[in-house]
Amino acid sequence: MKKIFSTLVIMACLLLAVPAQAQVKFGLKGGLDVSKLDNKVGDNTTGFFVGPMVDVTLPIIGLGIDVAALYSQSGLDVNNKNSEKLKSVEIPVNLKWTLGLGSTLGVYVAAGPQFGFSINDGWKQLMEESNKSFVSVNVGAGLKLLRHLQVGVNYNIGASKLGDMIVESSDGNLRSSIRKNSWQVSLAYMF
């Protein structure tokens, strides 16, 4: 019993020592957002996002997490006639695996959920029903350069709906749930 207890204590101490070596970096992130509603009506629209971020990496295995609080402004083009801006606060929480080539270059892949909260109401006039919050899933990759820069490409897949709208079709009106999918290109500077 003492051997098992001693082994468990040693394992716990080793596991607790790893987070003590974790690298925590704070920074600013911004970029371009090209989004499209999934109702197949309307065009791609561009927008931007900017905000603070935290990047935590365990140096031994290259596994980490990055969290950001981003102000985002993206366009919503419903039917090539009506378009509005969706202004929101988005919080991506990505699990990130980095393969480092020394301290000057690293390649990473990331994935995780993103939580969004609408902060304007103008876009809601396009919808029959609308939601104040929404969830999406991120999948992306990028480069870490010169210890301070991160360049990334991300695809954001809408998991929950922004709202419902009536879409005109040849058979009459059709109620459709709207989700937003987007490509994002980002640049981050870590302090």
Average pLDDT value for the chain: 82
Least confident of 76-80, 104-108, 133-137, 164-168: 76-80
Give the model's pLDDT for residue 169.
63
Q: How confident is the model at residue 33 (pLDDT cuts 50, 70, 90)?
A: very high
Count the domains in the chain.
Answer: 1
User: Does residue 92 fall inside a structural domain?
Assistant: yes
Mean pLDDT on 107-119: 95
Give the model's pLDDT for residue 4.
61
Give the model's pLDDT for residue 31.
98
User: Does residue 51 fall inside a structural domain?
Assistant: yes
User: Does residue 52 fall inside a structural domain?
Assistant: yes
Residue 8 has pLDDT above 60, yes or no: no
Residue 156 has pLDDT above 70, yes or no: yes
User: Does residue 4 fall inside a structural domain?
Assistant: no
User: Does residue 63 fall inside a structural domain?
Assistant: yes
* Residue pointed to by tokens 């998991």: 159
User: Does residue 174 fall inside a structural domain?
Assistant: yes
User: Does residue 71 fall inside a structural domain?
Assistant: yes
% residues pLDDT > 90 (the chain): 47
Question: What b/e string do you get for 166-180 counting C-beta neighbours within 10 Å, with b at 16 or more?
Answer: eeeeeeeeeebebbb
Mean pLDDT on 34-41: 73
Residue 147 has pLDDT above 80, yes or no: yes
Q: What is the pLDDT of residues 44-82, one digit of tens each?
A: 789 999 999 999 988 778 899 999 999 999 877 666 566
User: Does residue 1 fall inside a structural domain?
Assistant: no
Least confident of 50-59, 122-131, 178-187: 122-131
124/22 Cα distance (integer angstroms): 43
Give the model's pLDDT for residue 102.
74
User: Position 142: which residue type?
Assistant: G
In CATH, what number is assigned to the domain containing residue 132? 2.40.160.20
Task: Please give the residue range of the domain that contains residue 106.
Answer: 22-190
SS3 14: helix
Mean pLDDT on 147-153: 95
Nearest alpha carbon to residue 22 among 66, 52, 53, 80: 66
pTM greater than 0.95 (yes/no): no
